[in-house]
Chains A and B, each alone.
Chain A
Amino acid sequence: MRALCVLSFVAACCGLASAQWNEFSVGAKTVQVHGFLSQGFAVSDQNNFLTMKTSNGSFAFTDFGFNASSQLTDNFRVGAQIYDRNIGVLGKWHPQLDWAYGDYKLKDWLGIRAGKVKTVLGLYNDTQDVDSLHTFALLPQSVYPTDLRGSTIAHTGVDLYGAIGIESRGEIAYTAYTGALPFDRYGGYPHGTQALGVTLDHLSTRQTGGDLRWNNLTDGLTFGLSFITQPYESAGTVDLRILGLTGIAPYEGDSMADHRTQFYTEYRRWRLTLQGEYYRETWGIDVKNYEKLGADSRGWYAAAAYRVAKRLEFGTYHSRYYPDWKQADLSLPTNHIFDQAITANITLNSFWGVKLEGHFMDGYGEFYSFRGFYPQDNPQGLKPHTNLFVIRTGFNF
């Protein structure tokens, strides 16, 4: 049934794209509708990755979104998007309201968005779901972990934004926001805590942050800085067998701190794209009646892509993630995840593309990393090296 829905969606995408039916009028107003869908296949030689059974080869790698928006006046626009995914056990086909907001732009340097808004964080946080926007089938997981998407993706609240032109030196753009982060019940965080015996029923997070970027400092060169703080409270139950006891007990965990600072740069000129991002996240959690945990997590990547022909782009990135920079021996597989990726991005036409991608990964991170490698998905024990091959095809209109 779900496959039928997906196929219907693809057919609708193709039909809409070819007929250019993605714009229509309601009264005097124009409404644009757009959508995207991607289907992947992933196979690995060692560990299962991203909750999929990749060691056997897995097609459980589907996501899609659909939106409608309208410019109601010169200054005011509204829109909404739904999103759904089924990646291993992530998402589980539960659709969610991805964004839905009103946007009033008073001036180029001041606008306000209110509602559920995608969170601006680094180059790709707000667009990470849309496969067709990226060179890579999997974004660098050090900075954009697919399983932890729900931890940063959007907030229900208010954004202030704007851009100020700098004569002959591009523009400075800013975004400042605050709001509540909905609990991603089917994300990597609750899946990861299950391996620790904790079943989460409630996770309440408040996001406050900002982004400042200098676009086109010289032609195609961008520098930026993002900051986010997101204190949270969580509750659920803990299976005491994890402590060698029997029974179920209530679980409560409150964050002591969770701050993330991210720096990024991008150079995009004609066929060439170069990118780099680095972040540091300091966090701590006070698990009631148990203990306090915390770490200084860091991640970075450097990426390059070149479009060798109109329909073919090659790209590569090197990505590094350290669950706790303060660990004495960062070379242990628990203390890092490195990933060297190479990709061929084939543009079949303006609404359909295919990516072939290889990943050569080293390490699997700590028990609290929740980035691709989970003990319950790898009951044979995690191995230090993983080679992964991904094919992903994406439609959009």
Chain B
Amino acid sequence: MRSLQFLFLAVTASVCVAADAGRIDIKIIANPSVRASEISRDDLNRIFLMTKSSLGATEHVEPVLEKGGAAYEMFLKSYIGRTDSALMTYYRSLVFTGKASIPKSFASDSDVALYVAKTKGAIGYVTSDAKTPGLKTLEVR
């Protein structure tokens, strides 16, 4: 009986470790013009769904996407709650009613970091070990 319990625990632990290995940590980065040092999950969601375009004392912020890849999947799951397809459909609904443009998107951490660095008010996300010199990292509350 004990060996069965041990086997069950071992299998469960292996599955958890394997699942965790698929996880990737991301960080939220911002242009230095963004005066906040932290951001709430709600605000992050609203900025990327484009119903909020200011953050604290910063009057205009601009979301930037890293399209595709593990960081994108993690960002969608953690902060947006929509699949890629659902998010693009949402953006198109804004575009075809004239309410907003589709946010800029880039294929890699370095491209996102480069654009955020040169664009006033830009907020994006990259994998947590990406090098982002000169950029702010916003803590998510």
Contact: A101 with B98, CB < 8 Å? Answer: yes
Residue among B46, B99, B100 with the highest chain A CB neighbour number at 10 A = B99
Q: Which of B88-108 contact A (CB under 8 A)?
A: 88-89, 92-93, 95-102
- Cα–Cα, bound, A118→B97 (Å): 6
Look across to chain B and name the residue whose beta carbon is closest to the beta carbon of A135: B89
- Measured between beta carbons, the chain B residues less than 8 angstroms from A169 are 42
Q: How far is the CB of B75 from chain A (nearest CB, A)?
A: 14
- Measured between beta carbons, the chain A residues less than 8 angstroms from B101 are 30, 32, 69, 71, 77
- Measured between beta carbons, the chain A residues less than 8 angstroms from B40 are 167-168
Contact: A108 with B98, CB < 8 Å? Answer: no
Contact: A67 with B89, CB < 8 Å? Answer: no
> B110 within 8 Å of A by Cβ?
no
Q: Which of A163-201 contact B (CB under 8 A)?
A: 163, 165, 167-171, 173
Look across to chain B and name the residue whose beta carbon is closest to the beta carbon of A119: B97
Contact of A67 among B51, B88, B98 (CB under 8 A): B98
Q: Looking at chain B's contact residues, is the secondary structure mostly helix, strand, loop, or mixed? A: loop
Q: How far is the CB of A85 from chain B (nearest CB, A)?
A: 14
> A157 within 8 Å of B by Cβ?
no
- Cα–Cα, bound, A105→B86 (Å): 26
- Measured between beta carbons, the chain B residues less than 8 angstroms from A75 are 60
Contact: A270 with B81, CB < 8 Å? Answer: yes
Q: Which of A41-98 contact B (CB under 8 A)?
A: 65, 67, 69, 71, 74-75, 77, 79-81
Contact: B51 with A215, CB < 8 Å? Answer: yes
Contact: A67 with B45, CB < 8 Å? Answer: no
- Give 28 pairs: A residue, B residue, CB < 8 Å, sorted on A: A30-B101, A32-B102, A34-B92, A65-B96, A69-B95, A74-B59, A75-B60, A79-B98, A101-B98, A103-B98, A105-B53, A108-B53, A108-B54, A127-B96, A130-B92, A163-B51, A165-B43, A165-B46, A165-B52, A167-B42, A171-B51, A220-B82, A268-B86, A269-B81, A270-B82, A271-B83, A310-B85, A347-B85
- Which 9 A-B pairs rank lowest in CB-CB distance, beginning with the nearest? A74-B60, A79-B98, A163-B51, A118-B97, A32-B101, A130-B96, A127-B93, A126-B97, A34-B95
